[in-house]
């Protein structure tokens, strides 16, 4: 069976991380999200894959090419206008049954197989039971697995059963998506097509029981990274100097170096060519990308530090995501806890949004430069290419490309 992966979207809820790269390319435990999906498909026996690309899609094509590196055959479909999920499905034209997955959701090979084997009729979808169904498409499913209703993000969910974003469709789905009207948001939504098919008795559901990680927000991204780190084996392929303490599972790539006096508390991922220390402290659930430098007396906790970023002297980064090619001046620190220890809130699409987290640091885009002794408050976003001058305390989000300084005022006596 062929698979279609929907990876054309911009991922605005993950900004500033997606200002300069597609969300499917964000690294989770050392691999792009899309690579985790492709590897699960390969394990499930799928070898023919079409990837729908759009926003910054060339980065995906350049990374995965024709798929031969993964033992698959990958083709790319370019979606020029991104007008919703039903519109995305309509960009393909397959003649047989086909699998559809979202490009920002990591699923297990076992669950992919479960949905494929259960398929009958026009549409079969995977569902999960979650604690926050109001954030998803909510389903009513009877005891036989027949889907009775699909409601997109209801204020009062009728169940805790959600659409998990993995489907098998027969070619008849194309007629259904062509019947979908534009939603109030101006999009052609797959849930509308599914509801039409539900009313015609054509949709079945299969409960997913394996790995499932929907990565729509920065805090979900951190949770997915932590969960995937828990699945990594212990592997030290780089160089470890004397007087280094390692506890728990650490996956260290070739060419990486941990210098003397450092303490690494797994699970931790350390990418190729990264240099840790001397006297650095990597705490659990941290991913350090290729070519990074985590230097003298730097502490990193439960964070994703993307490739070629340097945090070299006397800094603290907790519960944060830091993009590619960033540089932290000496003493730059990220706070991850409010003084009142209340829930951290983050602006998403301009709206202050609860995260459900007591601890959450900064979300920092690519190519950001922080001067000496910069301090960033919990839950703040720093846009890509921004420069923050020495001694600045960041109380509000910083827009892409901004230059923020603390002005010096001199008064004569």
Cα-atom radius of gyration of the chain, to the nearest Å? Answer: 23
Question: Residue 83 carries which DSSP code?
Answer: -
Residue 310 falls in the annotated catalytic set: no
Sign of CA dihedral 230, 232, 236, 239: negative
Task: Enumerate residues 6+ apart whose C-beta is below 8 A from 65.
Answer: 74
Where would I find the H helices in 139-217?
A: 173-178, 190-199
The residue from 36, 285, 308, 313 that is catalytic is 313
Cβ count within 10 A of residue 403: 11
Residue 100 φ/ψ, nearest 5 degrees: -130, 130
Beta strands in 255-298 (DSSP E): 257-258, 263-265, 268-270, 275-276, 281-282, 286-288, 293-296
Task: Enumerate residues 6+ apart whose C-beta is below 8 A from 61.
Answer: 53, 76
Please provide the size of the chain in residues: 413
Q: How far apart are CA 213 and CA 106, in angstroms?
A: 5
Q: How far apart are CA 46 and CA 1, in angstroms?
A: 6
223 CA to centre of own chain: 9
- DSSP-derived secondary structure for 322-333: E-TT-EEPTT-E
Q: How far apart are CA 90 and CA 92, in angstroms?
A: 5
Among all residues, which ones are annotated catalytic? 313
């Amino acid at each position: 069976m062929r698979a279609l992966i929907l990876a054309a979207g911009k991922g605005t809820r993950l900004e500033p991380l997606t200002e300069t790269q597609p969300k499917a390319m964000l690294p989770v435990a050392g691999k792009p999200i899309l690579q985790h999906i492709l590897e699960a498909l390969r394990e499930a026996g799928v070898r023919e894959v079409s990837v729908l690309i759009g926003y910054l899609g060339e980065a995906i094509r350049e990374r995965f090419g024709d798929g031969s590196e993964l033992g698959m055959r990958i083709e790319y479909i370019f979606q020029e206008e991104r007008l919703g999920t039903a519109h995305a499905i309509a960009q393909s034209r397959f003649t047989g049954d086909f699998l559809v997955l979202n490009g920002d959701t990591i699923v297990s090979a076992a669950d992919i197989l479960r949905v494929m084997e259960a398929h009958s009729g026009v549409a079969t979808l995977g569902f999960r039971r979650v604690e926050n169904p109001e954030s998803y498409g909510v389903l009513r499913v009877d005891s036989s697995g027949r889907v009775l209703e699909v409601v997109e993000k209801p204020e009062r969910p009728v169940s805790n059963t959600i659409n998990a974003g993995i489907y098998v469709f027969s070619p008849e789905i194309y007629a259904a998506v062509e019947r979908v009207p534009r939603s109030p948001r101006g999009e052609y939504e797959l849930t509308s097509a599914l509801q039409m098919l539900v009313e015609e008795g054509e949709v079945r559901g299969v409960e997913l029981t394996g790995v499932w990680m929907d990565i729509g927000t920065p805090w979900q991204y951190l949770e997915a990274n932590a969960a995937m780190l828990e699945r990594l084996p212990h592997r030290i392929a780089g160089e470890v100097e004397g007087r280094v303490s390692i506890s728990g599972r650490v996956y260290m790539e070739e060419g990486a170096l941990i210098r003397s006096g450092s303490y690494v508390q797994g699970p931790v991922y350390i990418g190729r060519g990264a240099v840790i220390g001397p006297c650095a402290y990597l705490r659990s659930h941290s991913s350090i990308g290729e070519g990074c430098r985590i230097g003298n007396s730097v502490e990193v906790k439960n964070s994703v530090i993307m490739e070629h970023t340097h945090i070299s002297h006397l800094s603290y980064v907790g519960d944060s995501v830091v993009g590619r090619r960033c540089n932290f001046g000496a003493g730059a620190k990220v706070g991850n806890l409010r003084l009142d220890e209340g829930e951290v809130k983050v602006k998403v699409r301009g709206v202050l949004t609860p995260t459900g987290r007591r601890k959450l640091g900064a979300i920092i885009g690519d190519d950001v430069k922080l001067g000496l002794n910069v301090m960033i408050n919990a839950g703040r976003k720093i846009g890509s290419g921004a420069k923050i001058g020495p001694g600045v305390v960041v109380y509000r989000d910083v827009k892409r490309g901004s230059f923020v300084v603390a002005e010096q005022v001199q008064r004569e006596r």
